[in-house]
Every structure is written in C-alpha cells, then in structure tokens.
Amino acid sequence: MLARRARLTTISSGSTDLKRSAGREAMEATTEPRTLSDGITAKINAFVERRDGLKAANRYFYLQPIAGQTNHRVPMADGRDMVMLASYSYLGLIGHPRIDAAAHEAIETYGTGAGGVRLLTGTMDLHERLERRLAEFSHREDACVYSSGYVTNIAIITGLMGPGDLVVMDKLDHASIVDGCLLSGSKWKTYRHNDMDHLEKILSDAENEYNTILVVADSVFSMDGDVMDLPRVRELCDRYGARLMVDEAHSIGSLGATGHGIEEHFDMIGSIDLKMGTLSKSIPSVGGYLAARHDIVDYQRHMSRPFIFSAALPPAQTAAAIAALDVIEEEPWRVKQLHDVTARYSEGLKAQGWDTMRSTTCVVPVMVGDEAKTMDLTRMLFDRGIFVCPIVHPAVPRGTDRLRTCLMATHTTEDIDQVLDAFSVAGKALGLI
C-alpha cells in the first residue's frame, strides 16, 4: 500500500513537472512576436503610410498643438500667434468673463463631476435650469441635454425610429445622422443635396409604406456653408405626413438677426418638430440637446440609450452653457458683427477670384479641387500666420478638395486684411487665382 502511494506520488509529481514545463513553453511561445494579417492591420498600415507621407512632404496640419484660448487669434505651442480661421466659436464667446465666472461658481458649489447618469444618480438643478433655458431659447415646451452633439443625433434617431420606419436625409447631412440611421434599424434614403424635387419623389414613393417617416437635414451644411430650404422641406413634410428633424449645430448663434437659428432666419418659428443643437460651437461648452414637445422629450429621457447610459454634463459646462445663452440674447451686436465680418471676408475672396461655392453663412469653403494643391495652399497660409485646415477625401468627394474657413464675430479688420493678403499671395504663387 505504501509502495503504491509512493508510486502515485511520483506519477503525480512527474505530471506536475510536465504541466509546469508545458506552461513555461506556452508562455514563451506567446511572448514571441506574431505577424498579423487581418483587416485591422491593413487599415492601420494604410493610415500610417498616408500620415507619414504627408508629414514627409510637410503637408500634415492636423492635431496642431495650441497653448491658450481659441478666439479670433490663437497662441501656438511653438510660440506663434495666428489668426484662427478654423474654429466653430462663431460669436467669440470662449473666455467671456461672465461665462467663465459661471463655470467657476458651479465648481465651487457642485464640484467637477455629476457623479453618474441622471436617471439613476439624480438630476442636478443646474441640468434642469439648462433644459428650461434651452426650451425657452428654442421656443419649445421642453429640452433634453446629452453628452455631445454627435450623441444627440444618435439618441434622437435611435430613440424614435426603428424597424418599419424610414429616415430621409440630405446627402450632405452630418455623419452622426448617418450613424443614427444605421443604429436605429430603420430604413433610410438620401436625397440629392437641397434638391426638393428629389425629396418629393422619395416621399411620394414612400407614402403609406412605413409606420413613421422622418426627414432630417442640417440647417447649415458644415462643409459647404449653405442653408437648407426650410420652407420647402416643411411644405413637403406636411403634404406627405412626415415629421421634420433639423440639426442646428452650425446655425445657433450664426443665423437669424439675433442668432436664434434657422427658424428665425426664415421667420418660421415653431415649424420644426425635432430641433437638435450643440453646446460646443457658438455656445462655448460641451454637449447637445433636443428641443421639442414635452411628451417627446420626456419619452427620450426614459427611453433613449445615450441618455440612460451616459454620465450627465459636468456642472461647470452646464453652468457655462446657461450663461452663454444669456449672453447671446443680451449681446445681439455679436451676431450683427459676425454677419458684417463674413460679408467683408467673402466679398474679398470672390474679388480675388476664389470659388466659395454656395456659402451664404460664416462657414466659407474655398474650393481648390486638387488634394496636393489644397495641401500646398494650406502650408503657405500657415507660413503667413493663418490657422486653417484642409478638407480632403474622404471628408468630401474626390475632386472637391477645399479649405473650410470659419469666421468669428471677434475677427478684427486687421485679421481679415492679413487673411485676404495671405490668400492673394498664396493663390497667385500656386496659379489658383
């Protein structure tokens, strides 16, 4: 019996040694480098090749390090002071003392974070104040705030649309609208940009085929700078029983005599069913919002996944947004000045021979049409103290490469003179004008 136990012990010990040896070999094997040949590696390699090629040619302008506040001029980490021509802060409110003071006070009272999702952790009175203020600003019954503008579009479309529904959107709508459609499970179709005959054809063909039809359009198209045809889109929605959602990311603060957006621009207050906006452009904070009827908004607070599963806006950013809405309404001169600056700049570019496409807003594209020349133009402008970024494929179709320039109410006469002089010198040197 003892001999048998000794034999079993020996076998067991040997088995353990074998396992340990096998384990060491397995660990050593896993530490050896492996060559991956999957799609992820291919994508990364293609990206690295393109990025490194741009850097080698001195044509990489993205993720530029800055060292201070972004306003009509921006301090760069390398010490340069540049005219900012790429910011969405259309009214120049970043650094406004009243807005900064509101953010500081909120931190002192509430701290730096919300602590969780509003549905379960609790809703701060700041969040409720912001939503009431947004509803008032938008002339709606209620508003719901989300963690970003991108998330807001996804939340609205996935919360309200699904299988058996149809989303119809402008071909140039923002990527977040496209992603919302993909995630919602609904069918979706695009109409040619601002082509109302094509929109009507789609709506006519879809009539009585879906539970709900939602037409979605940007108010100001962020790459072209033109404006949706709200009167005609509203008319078609009424005719074919569709609801209308409008993304006001680039129109709040920039459109309308007092910056209240596209409904003020067309004198059509109350004509949009679902108003989406951001808190990170003319409003110098972060987040996004839906403004609509109270029943729709309350449904979204309880049913839209991005609201339920995303932490609430930090107190400082919430307070900053409230203060910014007050400043926009109490300093209407900023909107007029933005319109004046935009007119002078656009007319100056056209006089030099540049193609600004269909832009009628403070988003002014400068069409080049060739990627290499677009990059070279950007480099020459950078060297003359103008901060601007090139827009190339896949952000825009091939052959429509451009600079996307954005004006601010705080741009001075000297800023615009410097920009126009730089465009003139660079354009002539490159044979573009």
Catalytic residue list: 222, 250, 281
Q: Is the peptide bond before 306 cis (omega within 30 degrees of 0)?
A: no
Residue 365 three-state SS: strand
Residues pairing with 189 in the sheet: 168
Residue 420 φ/ψ, nearest 5 degrees = -65, -40
**How many other β-carbons are positioned within 10 Å of the β-carbon of residue 413?**
9
In order, the DSSP letters of 278-341 are ESSSSSSS--EEEEE-HHHHHHHHHH-HHHHSSPPPPHHHHHHHHHHHHHHHH-THHHHHHHHH
- Cβ contact 327:93 at 8 Å: yes
Rounded CA separation 388/90 (Å)? 15
Name residue, tokens 């029983």.
241
Half-sphere exposure of 230 (CA within 13 A, CB side): 26
Copy the structure tokens of residue 1. 């019996």
Return the closest-CA partner of residue 120 out of 301, 315, 308, 289: 308
**How many other β-carbons are positioned within 10 Å of the β-carbon of residue 134?**
25
The secondary structure element, H or E, covering residue 275 is strand 274-278
In order, the DSSP letters of 166-192 are EEEEETT--HHHHHHHHHHT-EEEEE-
CA distances from 144 to 94, 266, 309, 322, 427 (A): 24, 25, 14, 14, 46
Residue 243 three-state SS: strand
